[in-house]
Structure 1
Amino acid sequence: MTTATLAVPATPAAPRRRAARRVLPGFNLTLGYTLLYLSLIVLIPLSALVFKTLSMSWAEFWVAVSAPRVLASFRLSFGASLIAACVNVVAGLLVAWVLVRYSFPGKKIADALVDLPFALPTAVAGIALTAILAGNGWIGQWLEPRGIQIAFQPAGVVVALIFIGLPFVVRTVQPVLQDTERELEEAAACLGATRWQTFWRVIFPAIAPALLTGFAMAFARAVGEYGSVIFIAGNMPMVSEIVPLVIIGKLEQYDFTGATAVASVMLLASFVLLLIINALQAWGRRRYGGAP
């Protein structure tokens, strides 16, 4: 005898609830805390500097920022930062390439050493660089008799800025290189492209936004650097004096107006660099889908 199997009717699916666009619990509290914290830590101090600058007359401001000693410090700080950032773009790309594309003994140690300038106190970095580059240092004792002096010269400032800026380029380019598709390189090789053509036409366009971002970050970091530079620069007016030291010198002389004027120029430069970095990151995301 056959038994008819009755099909149990499927229960109708529960109607989907429309996802209500709810904010996280405690949104008002966390938003208020965030705005209060940012105001106390960032906005209020910077606003005080801006208002202090606006209270100055144009003549006072111009006299403060156009003094020969101040202009020389601007040229040194921005010029040395530009040179150091350009060097770090090339060196950082090479370091990131080696860490991503090759395997070798001690690779993890080399990768960790890249972050050392992040963790190392800037004063320690300055003392270490001075110890090896001064006239009686390990390297300086061989260079100075040949007429090459690095410590207590603008060249020493550039070396210090290269040291503290390298990780910004490496850590910006490294993840982008890791995400590049090897299939594109293999396809270019199959089509007869040389290694240089493959790099220039396939790899470089993908990492260009990351390189530009790393350059801007290294430049921004170098412009305001103080701790690692003050020891190796020598801080000689019109020769190796950087802008942060000029500001400190004016404060020690109770020239608050001059210090405010110089600091406002640095604040404006930092704001412009921040806009450039954000614009480069947004351009990279739009063009390369997440890079850098």
Structure 2
Amino acid sequence: RQFLDQDGWQQEEYPETDIYHLPLERAKDRQDNDIKVSIDGPDGKVHAVVWRLMVGCIPLYLLDTNIAENSPEAREITARLYAGEQKIRVYQEILLGVGGMRALDAMGIHPAVCHLNEGHSAFSSIERLYQIMTAHHVNLKTALEIIPRTTVFTTHTPVAAGNEEFHPDLMRPFLKPLAERLNIPVEEVLSWGQAPDAGSDAPMSMFVLGSRMSQYCNGVSKLHGKVSRQLWAHIWRDLPENEVPITHITNGIHIPSWLSHEMALLFDRYIGPEWCLHPSQPDNEERIDHIYDEELWRAHV
């Protein structure tokens, strides 16, 4: 959780989460058994249970490696997002993509279309290849035609440095079990996340993997779509920049959900209680200027 201190610097805190005081329950299979999945990593198998949280009428499924079957190191994989060590990050993304699809399969959930929100879940397409090959008795070539037609990929990051990529030496031990299931060389799986003609030592990009396995790719605003086409034009070198297959949608924001309670009260007082119904109205901007700096600062901190 992020907050501003009295000097205006952003700080982070990591509150302890007691699952016994949260509206969670273990996800079950059709025989009412707890769902458990596992993935293979360089240090052996990692196991995860699945928690189910209802967000309104929508079930949210959460993967948790903090269970007795795992080593102390593996139990920490899901403890914190964006861990500093790249190896932990790869474990997280393999667990989310591969483990996530295995969890859905164990629950009898078989999505017709998968929407990948950034590259974090890009490995799900590799697991889906195996699932489609085994469920429909098709070869890899056919599965590689099906996956892009049933996958949507959204990119949010407008700078190259913000898109995750990993050294091939780090990735090969993770990809080897996935390649063996598909009966192909690990270098072929690695190449799915590498830029064209980049060579075997090129990093594996989660954007490249996610977009290559998706027929539809979009940014989150008109300008962001344009920036993304410029940023990734080298992936589609045979196309002019304006034909790079990254389109856009315009992200909407439910303001009452995202604005802090303190700031909302301030806006109600100075702008009027109906400001959130017409947030882009020019008068609102003028009224914001009437808010005293001291009050605005107190609401921030």
Pairwise TM-score range, normalised by the shorter structure? under 0.3
TM-score by length of 1: 0.23
TM-score by length of 2: 0.22
Q: Whose Rg is larger?
A: 1
- Higher RCO (C-alpha under 8 Å, 6+ residues apart): 1
